[in-house]
Amino acid sequence: MFASLSKSTPDRIGPQFRLSNAAKRLFDVLISIGCLLILSPVFLVIAIIIKSDSPGPVLYRGKRMGKGGRIFHILKFRSMYERPESYQGPRITAEDDERITRIGRWLRNTKTNELPQFWNIIVGDMSLVGPRPEDPEICNHWPEDVRREILSVRPGITSPASVLFRNEEALLKSFDVMDTYFRSIVPDKLRLDQLYVRHHSLLLDLDILLWTALVLLPRQGGYAPPEERLFWGPISRLARQYVSWFTIDTLITLASIGLSGVVWRLFEPLNTGWPKAIGVGVTFAVFFSLTGALFGVNKISWGQANLIDVVSLLPGLVIATGMAIWVNQIWVNNTPLPLSLLFSAAAISFAGSVVVRYRTRLYSELVKRWINALGRAADAQERMLIIGGGDTGQFVAWMINRKGVQGGFRIIGYVDDDLFKQGTRIQGVSVIGRRADIPALVAKYDVGVIVFAIHNIKADERQQVQDICAQTPARLLIMPDLIGAFNQTVTTNGHTSRSAEPLVYPGPLSSNLPVQARFSQQQLELLLVDLAQKAREGDLEALLQKIAQAQADLQDQGNP
């Protein structure tokens, strides 16, 4: 019933994360105190309306599971009638729930009923952003590893799942509310909560707060941001793709002007002054960054960029140098910086920007790529789509782009479900979509060959991708896990393992992954525990699927 993410939780115990958590806590408390002070008159009006609408208390105090599994009482404005059936009904509320009062329906639709939780934040039970706190009875049905991971952080007033499922009650009906909730909503909410726990930061929190404010606007009620924009939102993009590079480029430019000025003064006097020189340098950095943003330079994943991407920095260099010269002539007046000094500083600054972005990349790679590109006849090539932008996918791209192989194929791009790779370029190849986009991409680019280059994927997910590919006219090729095979021949001590079992690679239409030669004792114990848990939950379908998968694995092991 539940599908959790297989990636392990990153280590968030070091000094960097302790500092980040402290900043997050300080931010939560300051914002909550300010909101309570500003909204106190609104709280008073809402309290009067609630009391006049139906008898009962103004606030609802419900049990919720907090950080580390600690139970706390969440505060909300009461939205239900104060009757026994209100406490005895389902733990989840549907849109047509008769327990909700007239004013309570408005409070829930506008999320105003959640505002008293600012007090929960101040006392340390909650955070502004975090997985939404659930009823303990619901949490007890989560898989143990998922529950442990999600409860490792404070729950929040809003979360990525809250943004995407803000109209959750409209998806539920009273007659089967709990069954629908567990089958249709909980798996996606848990997956989104796990993603938040693994990638949470102050920048991500700011993005989620911004998205929450936007989707609560009356005219935006039906808008649902894509997941990649949810976790890689406008504030994170601005800070990491623009502000960070602008800061780096500014420091490089100032250092370049300083270096050029020092060299110049060895031969001639220079009396412009540091304030004016800094002004010229900042002008260069501003227009270099703005031009780069206009040409999409900041969308490049520079850690994996192709050397040919250096061309995208040239327009910024030309425009920024021109603006620096103009400012130098207009603002500095009688003692401008010499033009030759400006040109040398611009050249050094550009070289520094390239070095910082490419780091240890070799210039010979640029020459090789350029020579290979000259021989391309794009119209006569078979168009290829690579599924997976990881090591195997990059290896496929490198192999296709080699001289002697590249003449027959042209890579259209990568398909990868990683939220943080969307719109980037890896080794000169763009990530142009996710698995759901494969049919549209095949039709748009007339793709003839699809290469499946993912190996750290579950069997059912692998089959889903292959089923999607089967809907297209393109041929599907399965790339063997050569990197995994190499790694399996090396022990942890760095010595070659001579007793390694030969690997059997799946065929193009196979959904079975390579398995070990036998079940270990630990694997067998985990399997039995999992089967027992499925039996206790009464989930016969999942139990039968698990048994069938174990039988298939055993059969594969017996038929190498």
For residues 310 and 363, give the distance between their C-alpha atoms in angstroms, rounded to a whole number. 11
Q: φ and ψ at 149, to 5 degrees?
A: -70, -45
Number of H helices, E strands in the chain: 23, 10
Cβ distance 64 to 72 under 8 Å?
yes
**Side-chain-facing half-sphere of 299: CA atoms under 13 Å:** 16
What pLDDT does 542 receive? Answer: 66
Regarding beta strands 59-65 and 429-433, do their DSSP bridges make them parallel or antiparallel, or are they unpaired? unpaired
Cβ distance 65 to 133 under 8 Å?
yes
For residues 128 and 158, give the distance between their C-alpha atoms in angstroms, rounded to a whole number. 6
Each residue's pLDDT tens digit in the chain (560 positions)?
555 554 444 555 556 677 888 899 999 999 999 999 999 999 999 999 999 999 999 999 999 999 999 999 999 999 999 888 778 777 788 777 888 999 998 998 888 999 999 999 999 999 999 999 999 988 988 999 999 999 999 999 999 998 888 777 776 766 677 777 887 788 888 999 999 998 888 889 999 999 988 888 765 555 667 777 788 888 888 887 788 888 888 888 888 888 888 888 888 877 767 777 788 888 888 888 888 888 878 778 776 677 778 888 899 899 999 988 888 888 756 667 888 888 998 999 999 888 888 765 554 455 445 544 554 444 557 889 999 988 888 888 887 776 444 456 888 999 998 888 888 888 778 899 999 999 999 999 999 999 999 888 888 888 899 999 999 999 998 888 776 666 655 444 444 444 434 333 333 333 333 333 344 554 555 566 566 666 655 566 666 666 666 666 665 554 44
Q: What length does the chain have? A: 560
Cβ distance 187 to 3 under 8 Å?
yes
What pLDDT does 499 receive? Answer: 40
Encoding tokens for residue 451? 């290469």
Cβ distance 189 to 141 under 8 Å?
no
Which amino acid, residue 419? Answer: L
What pLDDT does 166 receive? Answer: 79
What pLDDT does 49 receive? Answer: 94
Quick one: 390 exposed, middle or buried, by C-beta within 10 A (0-12, 13-18, 19+)? Answer: middle
* pTM of the predicted model as reported, rounded to 2 decimal places: 0.64
